[in-house]
Structure 1
Amino acid sequence: MSVKKLGLALTASAILVGSATAATLNVAIDSSPAGLDPHLITAFNSVVIVQGNVYEGLTDIDAGLNVVPDLAASWEISPDNLSYTFKLHSGVTFHDGSAMDAEDVAASIRRVQAEATASPKAASVMPITGIEIIDPLTVKLSLDAPFAPILSSLATIAIVPAELEADVEALQQTPVGTGPFKFVEWLPNNEITLTKFDGYREAGLPKLDGVTFKFVPEASTRQVGLTSGDYGILPGIDPATALQLKAQPGVELYDTLNVSYTLLGMNVTREPLGNAKVREAINMLLNREEIIAGALFGAGVPGGPLSPALTGWALDTSEFACYTTNVDGAKALLAEAGIETPIKLSILVLPRQDARDISQVIQQQLVAGGIEVELVNKEIGEFVQDWRNSDFDMFVSANGGNPDPDQYFFRTFRSGGPTNVFKYANADMDALLDTGRTETDIAKRKEAYDAAQRTLACQGPVAHLAYGNLFTAVNAKVKGFEIYPTGRLTSLVNVSIDE
């Protein structure tokens, strides 16, 4: 095993912003990220900075939700679907100058699998039971049973230097990847600066000299900055902001059907939420059309457990009886469950305007059925910590979606899953999710996921609310931007700025 030295103290000259350096792009987001370790992060503001920009995986997901090669130039699958052999691109280096090879791939997968890492992505690589380094540019992954979504799952696993396999601290503040941009500095409550990685494996890319992510809490300030040219991109904006910017001169609005979703999560260890009839009653009290109209300005569709963008997988919400608002029916269910009202619960609210607006509408809707809700607002770091610790009755959030049902369902709804913060356990659901993960026949996988959706929609620990349009506002001088349904800013590698 080779030994490589890791230089974490990356330095660069200060990058000027605004008109002083036309090739540096300013991206305005609403708050500072909670961390930057690609194997630990879950919040949008963390993912949007590093995934695809600082870090890359063996595979990637393109704008059409197709699996494409990334650090892996190609791969071969054994006839029994139990081994995958990846051939890596040659000449790839990390931002510290060390070579990226099969050793780093193996260490990155082991790091995510390790219990000590406590990675929310662990389920994505859990079925990998063997890792063999054949040569510096070839790695073989072995499975005990077929793992149908392995190629799309690997797109979520960033490759990091092998020396950091056992370190769960360093990358949170100082990311080191192979992507088109390398980390320079993080000024708390101000900005994170990335600069062009001159050693990037694709000739002529990136086109920008750098990207600076500005933390701008006030929506009005972000909007004014976009129209004035101080900011080049406002990613993942809420529908209200999109509506306001649509008619502004010098602004281009990009949108696509989002695989991400808004949700009301329920902790089944907090009574009476452990009762499936109570969770079904909550679904029946919700009016999703009203939520979309009032909180998302009409920009969205009622959402089931899977995004309608996943046309081959998602069931239509008309199949879910609980999606028809029925206050009397909800009250009857609560009575049948032996629950006395009023019920007093709290909702932990993601610090984002659309989540705040959704929470207020839900608060009004639930009270009609005798459920009184207190809204709890915290900054993003506290929100993430409470979420990870299951320290909530309910929460309202916006979560990233995935092109394969396994990537969301298995880690979230299987007993003991790494993002099963709801503490949900259902043996029948476990069996369905195991089938969906190991079955390679598409029709049989769909049959399992159809059954899972029908259970989760009304009695699961998540009331899925809406899949909105994903909006990103771009200054007209910014060229080459492409919006991805996953919300990632992967296309920044091709972006340039007109003088």
Structure 2
Amino acid sequence: MFTILLLAACAPIQIPTSDVTPTPTSPPAPSPEVRASGSEVSPTPTATPTIFPLPEGGAIVVGVAGDMNLDVNAMTPFLRDAIFDSLVRPNPLTGALERGLAESFQVSPDALSMTFRLQQGIQWHNGDALTADDVAATLNAFASPDFRGVPVTDFGTFVKATALDDRTVQLTFRETNCPALTGIATLKILPRAVANSLNFPRLKPEQLMGTGPLKIAARGDDQFVLTRNSSYYLGQPPIESWTLKFYPNAAALRSAFAAKQIDVMATAPGEYGAIKNLAGATFLRAAAPEYIALVFNTDTVALNDGRVRQALNYALDRNLLLEDLGGQALPVDSSALPTFWANDPNPPRYSFDLAKAKEILAGAGWRASGDGVLRKDGRAMSLQLWTEADDPILEPLAFRLREMYAALGIQVELQLDDRPGVLTRAFQHRFDLLLIRRKLPLDPDQRWYWQSDQNAKGSGFNIGSYSNPRVDALFKETLRVNACDPSGRAALFGEINRNLVIDPPAVFMFAPLRYLVTRDRVFNAAPSAFAGDFWNLKDWRVRP
């Protein structure tokens, strides 16, 4: 039985070079060269350090854009992280699971049961003790077929959660499903009475009671007033009074910051141009938990050849693309962030090499004609590239991609549509090239994106009809790793990512940067790609 007392950052695991099985109709393609990473923007949380002793107490105002949605899974991240806790929490640097409400957990060798032992002495905001019954009730309510809220995790083969005693809860499964460990164990835990209420998961204001660092003191029309939890199990937060203010949109939020009505605001990727000149601001950056990729539709005849997909990777100058984004992105080589615990620390990488791209395409039968356009059997290589109009990141990239592929001899017809239109086209697999932003799950399992049996039009999964038997086999292995051992899972996912580079379903480009903006009186905030912007509220301090 595999026991985890505290799972911190996993040591780098050397991934052996795998035998890549190319797409069935593709001739063998050369492996991309491994190059030095070069200078990269680190996604490591950039905290504002406390450079001199600060007094206890003080007040702070946090602003958010949006409404006061009290659905547990849809409420603003600040409120969720301030009030509630989970059994385990992600390490802010690597995303690896660390203890939260649970001091330890065990996974059976067949991974059909997971047992969590709660830390002793944790209290709800009203002073009642947290018990395993609360945990079991919460998880069973989230997993219920009658659940009416926003789904945030796939319970898969989950059967039920059972309280074995006051501090021990056991999860059982019909079949092995290691990704469930991350998805279920990071859900926020609520009091049993709240989880069993008829209105769950849409909470009433009086039900906003958790075990987190802050607790609700009052509610107004557009704000919550919170106070520190003096009984917080990780220690009383230094800041005494907190106000959370809601604004209708990002522009109103920025105006409030400029008018000194708020001390902190979170921004979305692509907003840096609108915030960079704010006076008295500190900009704390982190990679967003998403990546930008150019997805290939392998139903397109030309793109069904793995050599062509490799050439399209070599033809892109990522440094120039990054300049077009004003440096506001983190280069990635796969569908994982560089510091992620399950990522290959030294994956194959595509360098910009237009000559090599042309050489590979010539080997695949695509040769330049008198007009500079590549042709094969008399047919020009002409591809449609779809992306979202007015997206501050995707649209400028799309124009540059068209230009770079024209230099290779490929005719690219750029098509812009609104987000619903692009999503509809993606679901129906009606594109050649699709430039998109995709969310990165906290667990490394991404089989919905790349496994061949997920290729069903209308599902939104495997939208490029990608098929690689080796990748399929590796994904199946990841589901049944002995006791869901992290090192075993990391080795498999590292090999998956190597295969996805060598036999590419996409061009993996960047993770966009986002910013937590604070006034210069705020200290110790440290936004994270894995843990979010507000994971360490208990450490924040303010200068009077």
Assess if the C-alpha contact under 8 Å between 1:263 and 1:462 holds in 2: no
Counterpart Cα distance in 2 of 1:157 and 1:373? 41
2:478 is the alignment partner of 1:436 = yes
Matched residue SS, 2:336: coil
Q: Deviations over 1:447-476 (max 9, x none)?
A: 422331133236555432114555433211
Assess if the C-alpha contact under 8 Å between 2:113 and 2:173 holds in 1: yes
Assess if the C-alpha contact under 8 Å between 2:448 and 2:462 holds in 1: no
Amino acid at match of 2:387: I
- 2:526 alignment counterpart: 482
Counterpart Cα distance in 2 of 1:337 and 1:36? 60
2:542 is the alignment partner of 1:497 = yes
Counterpart Cα distance in 2 of 1:390 and 1:308? 31
Assess if the C-alpha contact under 8 Å between 1:307 and 1:467 holds in 2: yes
Counterpart Cα distance in 2 of 1:50 and 1:383? 33
Assess if the C-alpha contact under 8 Å between 2:329 and 2:513 holds in 1: yes
Counterpart Cα distance in 1 of 2:70 and 2:302? 33
Matched residue SS, 1:310: coil
- 1:309 alignment counterpart: 339
2:450 is the alignment partner of 1:413 = yes
Counterpart Cα distance in 2 of 1:329 and 1:169? 60
- 1:348 alignment counterpart: 388
2:495 is the alignment partner of 1:451 = yes
Matched residue SS, 2:85: coil
* TM-score computed with the length of structure 1 as normaliser: 0.70
Greater alpha carbon shift after TM alignment, 382-391 vs 145-154? 382-391
- 2:264 alignment counterpart: 233
* TM-score computed with the length of structure 2 as normaliser: 0.65
Matched residue SS, 1:254: strand
Q: Aligned in 2, Cα 1:26/1:37: closer, same or farther, shift over 3 Å?
A: same
Counterpart Cα distance in 1 of 2:98 and 2:321? 36
Gaps of 5+ in 2: 1-57, 367-374
Amino acid at match of 2:518: V
Q: Aligned in 2, Cα 1:451/1:106: closer, same or farther, shift over 3 Å?
A: same
Task: Report the CA distance between 1:50 and its aligned residue.
Answer: 4.8
Counterpart Cα distance in 1 of 2:86 and 2:145? 21
Q: Deviations over 1:256-312 (max 9, x none)?
A: 5x3734313648597569846475565445432222111142653343222211366
Assess if the C-alpha contact under 8 Å between 1:78 and 1:84 holds in 2: yes
Q: Aligned in 2, Cα 1:477/1:327: closer, same or farther, shift over 3 Å?
A: same
Assess if the C-alpha contact under 8 Å between 1:27 and 1:233 holds in 2: yes
Assess if the C-alpha contact under 8 Å between 1:260 and 1:400 holds in 2: yes
Matched residue SS, 2:472: helix
1:88-103 equivalences under 5 Å are 88-89=118-119, 92-93=123-124, 101-103=131-133
Assess if the C-alpha contact under 8 Å between 1:227 and 1:249 holds in 2: yes
Match of 1:217 among 239, 250, 275: 250
2:59 is the alignment partner of 1:23 = yes
Q: Aligned residues: percent identity?
A: 15
Greater alpha carbon shift after TM alignment, 458-467 vs 410-419? 410-419
Matched residue SS, 1:253: strand
2:104 is the alignment partner of 1:63 = no
Q: Aligned in 2, Cα 1:234/1:270: closer, same or farther, shift over 3 Å?
A: farther
Matched residue SS, 2:496: helix
Specify which structure has the bigger relative contact order, considering alpha-carbon pairs within 8 angstroms and separated by 6 or more residues: 2
Matched residue SS, 1:229: coil
Amino acid at match of 1:126: G
Match of 1:375 among 416, 421, 425: 416
Match of 1:291 among 321, 327, 340: 321
1:46-445 equivalences under 5 Å are 48-65=77-94, 66-77=96-107, 83-89=113-119, 92-93=123-124, 101-110=131-140, 113=143, 121-123=152-154, 125-126=155-156, 128-129=158-159, 131-143=161-173, 152-160=182-190, 170-171=201-202, 176=208, 178=210, 179-181=212-214, 193=224, 195-196=226-227, 201-202=232-233, 204-205=236-237, 207-218=240-251, 225-226=256-257, 228-236=259-267, 238=269, 241=272, 245=276, 250-256=280-286, 258=287, 260-264=289-293, 266=295, 268=297, 275=304, 277=306, 280=310, 282-297=312-327, 300-310=330-340, 313-316=343-346, 319-321=348-350, 324=353, 328=358, 341-348=381-388, 353-366=392-405, 369-378=410-419, 393=431, 394-397=434-437, 399-400=439-440, 402=442, 405-406=444-445, 409-414=446-451, 415-416=453-454, 420=461, 422=463, 424=465, 426=467, 427-440=469-482, 444-445=488-489
Task: Report the CA distance between 1:140 and its aligned residue.
Answer: 1.0
Please provide the CA RMSD for this pair. 4.9
Q: Aligned in 2, Cα 1:100/1:323: closer, same or farther, shift over 3 Å?
A: farther
Counterpart Cα distance in 1 of 2:197 and 2:428? 25
Counterpart Cα distance in 1 of 2:171 and 2:196? 18
Q: Aligned in 2, Cα 1:443/1:494: closer, same or farther, shift over 3 Å?
A: closer
How many residue pairs get matched? Answer: 455
Counterpart Cα distance in 1 of 2:83 and 2:178? 28
Task: Report the CA distance between 1:492 and its aligned residue.
Answer: 2.9
Amino acid at match of 2:535: T
- 2:26 alignment counterpart: none
Counterpart Cα distance in 2 of 1:451 and 1:226? 45
Assess if the C-alpha contact under 8 Å between 2:299 and 2:465 holds in 1: no
Amino acid at match of 1:371: V
Matched residue SS, 1:474: strand
Q: Aligned in 2, Cα 1:192/1:353: closer, same or farther, shift over 3 Å?
A: farther
Gaps of 5+ in 1: 1-21
Counterpart Cα distance in 1 of 2:69 and 2:501? 32
Matched residue SS, 1:429: helix
Task: Report the CA distance between 1:374 and its aligned residue.
Answer: 1.8
Counterpart Cα distance in 1 of 2:129 and 2:290? 38
Amino acid at match of 1:134: L
Q: Aligned in 2, Cα 1:250/1:439: closer, same or farther, shift over 3 Å?
A: same
Matched residue SS, 1:132: strand
Task: Report the CA distance between 1:48 and its aligned residue.
Answer: 3.6
Amino acid at match of 1:361: R
Amino acid at match of 1:207: E
Amino acid at match of 2:542: I
Task: Report the CA distance between 1:215 and its aligned residue.
Answer: 4.4
Amino acid at match of 2:534: L
